[in-house]
Structure 1
């Protein structure tokens, strides 16, 4: 792996918080991700004890994700906005553009298998599902529960895009790249003092491996390639903002593809 990156620019509030108040910095790195995961647990619980998939039932019982996802989005955004200056984004036009290119390439690899599934005329389940070759047509489709083009339909769809492209990009990159990569580098020491983007094979294997496992098995191949590209961008740019932009562009394009081609299972 390459040599240690240079020390971060001094003077930023995010750097001062990380170096002078590590316990507070840790909480602000982890809490948004924890809130996001708690809502997923709530969705799982609702699916087990609350959901009733019958046409006679109201939409909020048949599809609890349509009210849990917006609440999750709003809760995470409130925390992120409140703690915005605590994060080391270091925005720059150069890395925004490079991050956008990485996002387009990364999501291209993720979407390729479902495109090949249709192109090859596959119609059944098989070992190829582990490579991502699947129809991916069953998933988040507001038209199944609301009048297409109506206010409820657009609210559900817009909030889903905000969740995927904005909240997920921020929450996951802050946790995976800014926090967990550092923690893996020096678990028993003052890991918060590690510079952002410092490379090591251990952090690559742990962070990328957990990123892959956080997805469905059908997405493992795409997540492995995408996660590896994100790690490469992270250690090359040493710029959290670039990683966030990559994730934003990738999820935005995935959402557009899912809605445009009826591949709702992708998101």
Structure 2
């Protein structure tokens, strides 16, 4: 398959931004590895600098593939009842998320993203801006395209574009929510969020509304982290 055909492949265009983002996460984890650090003497803050590159690269890829996302209808926001439901869902997920941080409900060590590890204040603020931008805009678009536009429909039919947005099946609902949860260190909070966003999708039949709810959750979580210093939530 040549590149031109690949970028027009419906599955590829929804998987690629997510895969790129996850590849950067793998790089961050590799740089934090004690053996790697011992060998190359990387500073503790090295992984923090990857986030701006990760956010910008993923955002650029989404823009390059934007014409393929025919399911994104931002005029859906004109339906005020659905938009209000999305805002409420985003707030509820945020509130539940910060209370589901039990040790047994997490995978591995939750390090978080702590820009204060950098001594220069201007750099700290710049890293915070990139984090808020990435978490509140890039991540919601990237994840909702992958999880609720592609995966939930693909689990119903490999010809996923023949499946209407918001079509329910118990297996895709459960598998999608669980897999979404396992993507996060706080797996229980992740499953909860997956369930809430899935239900919102079934109610509104709109990927745009899911992006809005996800963005609200991440933006509020960012404000909470900055106010409390609970960097592990980032």
TM-score bracket for the superposition, by shorter chain length: 0.7 to 0.9
2-side partners of 1:197 and 1:206: how far apart?
15
**Alignment counterpart, residue 205 of structure 1, candidates 149, 170, 174:** 174
Moved more, 95-104 or 41-50: 41-50
Residue in 2 that maps onto 1:63 = 45
SS in 2 for 1:112: coil
Residue in 2 that maps onto 1:46 = 31
Higher share of residues assigned helix: 2
2-side partners of 1:113 and 1:45: how far apart?
27
**Alignment counterpart, residue 94 of structure 2, candidates 103, 107, 111:** 107
SS in 2 for 1:77: helix
- Superposed displacement of residue 113, structure 1: 4.1
Partners of 1:166 and 1:248 within 8 A in 2: yes
**Alignment counterpart, residue 172 of structure 1, candidates 143, 146, 153:** 143
Compared with structure 1, are the counterparts of its residues 113 and 39 closer, same or farther at alpha carbon in structure 2 (3 Å cutoff)? closer
TM-score (norm 1): 0.75
Matches within 5 A, 1:1-267: 24-48=9-33, 50-51=36-37, 61-87=43-69, 88-91=71-74, 92-93=77-78, 94=80, 95-113=82-100, 128-131=102-105, 139-147=112-120, 150-187=121-158, 190-216=159-185, 219-267=186-234
Residue in 2 that maps onto 1:8 = none
Partners of 2:151 and 2:176 within 8 A in 1: yes
2-side partners of 1:260 and 1:66: how far apart?
19
- Superposed displacement of residue 75, structure 1: 0.4
Cα RMSD, aligned residues only: 2.4
Name the larger-Rg structure. 1
1-side partners of 2:29 and 2:46: how far apart?
10
TM-score (norm 2): 0.85
1-side partners of 2:44 and 2:11: how far apart?
38
1-side partners of 2:7 and 2:17: how far apart?
16
Number of equivalences:
220
1-side partners of 2:37 and 2:66: how far apart?
36
Structure 1 runs of 4+ with >3 Å offset: 49-52
2-side partners of 1:61 and 1:154: how far apart?
19
1-side partners of 2:36 and 2:49: how far apart?
13
Which consecutive residues of structure 1, in runs of 5 or more, have no partner in the other structure? 1-20, 115-127
Compared with structure 1, are the counterparts of its residues 171 and 104 closer, same or farther at alpha carbon in structure 2 (3 Å cutoff)? same
- Superposed displacement of residue 80, structure 1: 1.1
SS in 2 for 1:244: helix
Moved more, 251-260 or 93-102: 93-102
2-side partners of 1:69 and 1:22: how far apart?
25
